[in-house]
Chain A
Amino acid sequence: MVRESYTITKTLDHAATRTAQRPRLHRLDLELTERCNNNCLHCYLNRPANDHLARERELSTTQLQAILDEAATLGCLTLRFTGGEPLLRPDFAALYLHARRLGFRVSLSTNATLITPHLADLLARLPPLQPLDITVYGMTAGSYEAVSRVPGSFHRFWRGVNLLLQRGVALQPRFALLPPNASELQTFERWALSLPGVQRHPGIVLFLDLRARPESERSRELAALRCSPEEGVAVLARRGAAYQDEMRSFCARFSRPAGDFLFACGAGRESACLDACGNLQPCVQLRHPAALYNLVQAQPASPLRHAMTEFFPRMRQLRATNPDYLLRCARCFLKGLCDQCPAKSWMEHGTLDTPVEYLCAVAHAKARHLGLLAQGENAWQVEDWRERIENFSKKEQT
């Protein structure tokens, strides 16, 4: 009997590899460089484009291609080029071509200021298969360059975006919401939602991270830029019923006490990040020495496989020992609303298991907004949390 169809069309989120037999590595983030041609107020890295030491530490084209080759043999399907600004690498096009020819779906996180006609042509001819992740720092030259701190960057951003749009390259912009551009969020959203192919509501960089490697002075400056938890929740809640509905579904799935295992996400299990110097990290933000596996210096013939099958599984067994964490985070039912994780603890405190007060305050503000907590309540002391989540999740969808 002739079958109706022999092929099955899938989007990445529904690829069988996510549900059936998982590959050793599903997603790899490649931080090609820590350098950037912008100098953004809120950046957690900020290495100048002409930082020669940082450049010397970067992996060579050949090293990166060998790592891509091994990632492909492990079944990795999704690759993200990130940075710094990945387009600062003169070999970006070669690496992109290598990745696409290996059959990766490629995501690119960029500020778009270094997009050239040649590169835009390449991205149109060999599409990355995922919209380009472009961060927008303002909708006017004044606000944009108050964030990027580079004169002329606003013009270069629009030139890059227009080169891509003229060729039909799909974009998924996100907005870095900061004091200089705080009044421009609506303008940004109207523009982003008007772009062809944009389906998701554009993302917002809202609750800022501190430095990727603990640096007290810059981290203090970053902390001063943070919005208050209540201001942040007001931004999230601007979408009204849509936000409430998303949270109902989210809380039903994820809200429960975290326990003392430190790793609750997929970091180091199905995904990993390679930093610019060759260190494999469980995620893009976790640079604690105990979590790094140097792929360049590693002895095994298949270092990526060894990291994913031996090193990270052992690391993921780590449990919290900090009494404050065990008293609060391990017992708190707001896990689904809170960004507390080993990476955030590392960036904030240089440890893996220290509660991050800002994130705790944000999670509590979200929970109060959603009616899960009363003013003055601490979530880790709530005993009837199951009932609260159940009642909240059952509320009529709007």
Chain B
Amino acid sequence: MTTDLTLDGIYTPSENIVARLIEGEVMIVPLTAGIGESDEGLYTLNECGQAIWQQLDGRQSLRAVAAQLAAEYEAAEGEIEADVLGLARELLERGILAEVK
């Protein structure tokens, strides 16, 4: 499923989850069965993941997301792109993210 993940892809939170911001923390709550490893697990994002997540709006490509973050954070562009791809791959594998066709 993730072999063709590229920076040109556009992604959005899956309809099978609900993302909630609780006291500053993004909490990802599975809605349907089969999200993640168990039917009882919740997910939160680390600081880096949270910054990327907030840009995944289903409109801009991962490359544009990385560029946006590069303008905000002091980090090498290649490193940010790797982080964006890494998070997108992980969330796709867990069924938390969906590609916009």
Contacts and interface: CB of A to CB of B under 8 A. Distances in A.
B5 interface: no
A105 interface: yes
B100 interface: no
A10 B43 CA distance: 6
B31 A9 contact: no
A228 interface: no
Given A2-B82, A6-B87, A17-B22, A126 B46 contact: no
Contact of B33 (A3, A6, A75, A127): A127
Interface in A1-33: 1-3, 5-12, 15-17, 20-23
B42 A11 contact: yes
Interface of A: 1-3, 5-12, 15-17, 20-23, 72, 75, 77, 100-105, 124-127, 129-131, 170
Interface of B: 18-20, 22-25, 27-33, 36-37, 39-46, 48-49, 52, 79, 82-83, 86-87, 90-91, 94, 96
A161 to B, nearest CB: 18
A20 to B, nearest CB: 7
Majority SS at the chain B contact face: mixed
A103 B49 contact: no
B38 to A, nearest CB: 8
Given A3-B83, A6-B90, A8-B45, A130 B29 contact: no
Pick the most buried of B39, B49, B87: most chain A CB atoms within 10 A of its CB: B39
B32 A9 contact: no
A22 B31 contact: no
B32 A17 contact: no
A262 to B, nearest CB: 28
A12 B24 CA distance: 17
A17 B36 contact: no
Contacts of B27: 15, 17, 77, 103
Q: Which 3 A-B pairs have the closest CB atoms?
A: A6-B49, A103-B18, A21-B23
B37 A130 contact: no
Contact of A20 (B25, B42, B43, B96): B25
Contacts of A5: 46, 90
Contacts of B41: 9-11
A21 B25 CA distance: 9
B91 A101 contact: no
Nearest to B43: A7
A16 B44 contact: yes
B20 to A, nearest CB: 4
Given A3-B46, A7-B44, A11-B42, A72 B25 contact: no
Contacts of B49: 6-7
B83 A8 contact: no
B31 A101 contact: yes
B97 to A, nearest CB: 11
A101 B18 contact: yes
B30 to A, nearest CB: 7
21 contacts: A2-B79, A5-B90, A6-B91, A7-B43, A7-B44, A7-B45, A8-B43, A8-B44, A11-B42, A17-B22, A17-B23, A23-B23, A75-B22, A101-B18, A105-B42, A126-B31, A127-B32, A127-B39, A129-B40, A130-B40, A131-B40
A3 B86 contact: yes
Given A7-B44, A7-B90, A77-B22, 18 more contacts: A1-B82, A2-B86, A3-B86, A6-B46, A6-B87, A7-B87, A9-B37, A10-B42, A15-B44, A22-B23, A77-B27, A101-B31, A103-B18, A103-B31, A126-B31, A126-B32, A127-B32, A129-B40
Given A2-B83, A3-B83, A101-B18, A9 B36 contact: yes
Pick the most buried of A9, A77, A104, A131: most chain B CB atoms within 10 A of its CB: A9
A111 B17 CA distance: 29
Nearest to B21: A75
A6 B48 contact: yes
